[in-house]
Homo-oligomer: A and B are copies of this chain.
Amino acid sequence: MFPAVTRAFLLSSMTPVCRSGVTVRRYCMKNPTKLRVSEAFLDAQVGEKVRIQGWVRSFRPQKQNLFLHVNDGSSLKSLQVIAPAAMNDPLLGFGCAVEVRGILKKSPHSKQPVELEAEQIWVIGECNPDFPFKIKERHSLEYIRQFLHLRCRTNAFSSLLRIRSEATAAVHSYFKNNGFLLVHTPTITSNDCEGAGELFQVEPPGTTFANEGSFFSVPVYLTVSGQLHLEVMSGAFPRVYTFGPTFRAENSQSRRHLAEFFMVEAEISFTESIEDLTKVWKSAFTAKIVINCYPKSYIFLSPLHLKDTLDDMLRKSFPVITYTEAIDILKRSSETFTFPTDWGCDLMTEHEKFLVKHCGNIPVFVTDYPHDLKPFYARDNQDHPKHTAAAVDLLVPGVGELSGGSLREERLDLLRSRLGECGLEDTYSWYLDLRRFGSVPHGGFGLGFERYLQCILGVDNIKDVIPFPRFSHSCLL
């Protein structure tokens, strides 16, 4: 007979694995099939001998038997393990890592299809009693956020991580299936796409950031958008996209801002109207695949009924209104706004939220903003007296502005004079080149991935939808 619970000591590589000095192979000539917990629920045959590795999420010793739930991150649901009370051990408890070998049995309880009748349990790694998460407690997202390095061990944050991984895969497969080429736009760049401040500068430590003698010979920044680099590619491919980290040195601690966030950006060539963008934009927004992939994780993490609201939202077409119409709506409303609603003023969050509600609480595209509010690359509509540019924002319930885009100025003369007005003609001579050699009408949009997740998951704080949040005065780990 062998001890039921053995403390595991993994040996150095390339030697047979031993535990407590007993070579495992002696009493287990053939390892039983290793299953992930999700596989045990789905595929395994009742009666099969298997082994499961994971972390103990609940532990209940009773007179006759031990009951534990083992989770390995493959699903929200843990596998119930039943073992004779004699297998108990001081190290076995909430939070420890175990390997369990035994027979999968049909469960007498309707809550679970199968359970594992343990023949052997090894504690692979014990859990110190000062583990900040407690058995049977559902900790708040705020509480677990204090432990960035441990929060993946909770049901809530592991659910988020599964959904985020799936949402990323959905983004890539959407664009791939729709003929988009993935382009890795650079993180370090010498240009500033937005023409605004809020940049991070980059240099090896101890460098003075002078132009001469610095690492790159020019001042360089962390990218605020891959758009201009995607536009380079729009001169050879009809559809391109990028998906990666983007940066803003915004001194904000709000629940909607991060210093480092992920952005999906797409650029489409041979566009004829803003509709060419909004069509792709709306279908890229579809969240169903993501939600259906881990329905239990989704339901655990998100407010009740959000799924129905989302399903309903996505069935409808998104209203498209012009900025001028939006201003009319705001002016006619009985609402009192803090910020002005005159034509020419930027739409603020309070306005955006009102417009979303006004349109029936579904996402709304607002198009054709005042020309003077938009950066040099936005396409001039050449209208008057209200001079607008072919720029679009997507406003969504709860979040406000989720995403922005525009048709780009592809006409050399107009672009050159606009850059000239800003004193940027030399800086962007390469960008003008794109219009000198086979220029095509094109446009694109960028979508903040974390705000998108907030929107489809109903998560209030952006710091809870990214593994390692970075914001002003905080860069833990």
Contacts and interface: CB of A to CB of B under 8 A. Distances in A.
Contacts of A190: 475-477
A86 interface: no
A382 B18 CA distance: 15
Total copies of this chain within the assembly:
2
Contact of A466 (B99, B184, B436): B184
Interface string A66-107: 000000111000000000000000000001110100000000
A379 B10 CA distance: 11
A96 B229 CA distance: 20
Contact of A186 (B12, B232, B260, B368): B260
Interface stretch (A111-119, A135-143, A175-183): A175-183
Interface in A163-194: 164-165, 168-169, 172, 176, 179, 181-191
B73 A249 contact: no
A438 B97 contact: yes
Contacts of A289: none
Interface residues of A, number: 124
For the residues of A in contact with B, the DSSP-based class is loop
Interface of A: 9-10, 12-15, 17, 36, 53-56, 72-74, 95-97, 99, 124-128, 130-131, 148-150, 152-153, 158, 161-162, 164-165, 168-169, 172, 176, 179, 181-191, 198-205, 209, 215-220, 222, 228-229, 232-233, 235-238, 244-245, 247, 249, 251, 259-260, 262, 269-275, 322, 367-368, 379-383, 390, 407, 410-411, 430-431, 433-441, 466-468, 470, 472-477
A184 B202 contact: no
Given A73-B236, A474-B216, A202 B200 contact: yes
A131 B235 CA distance: 13
A438 B153 contact: yes
B274 A236 contact: no
A44 to B, nearest CB: 15
A323 B189 CA distance: 40
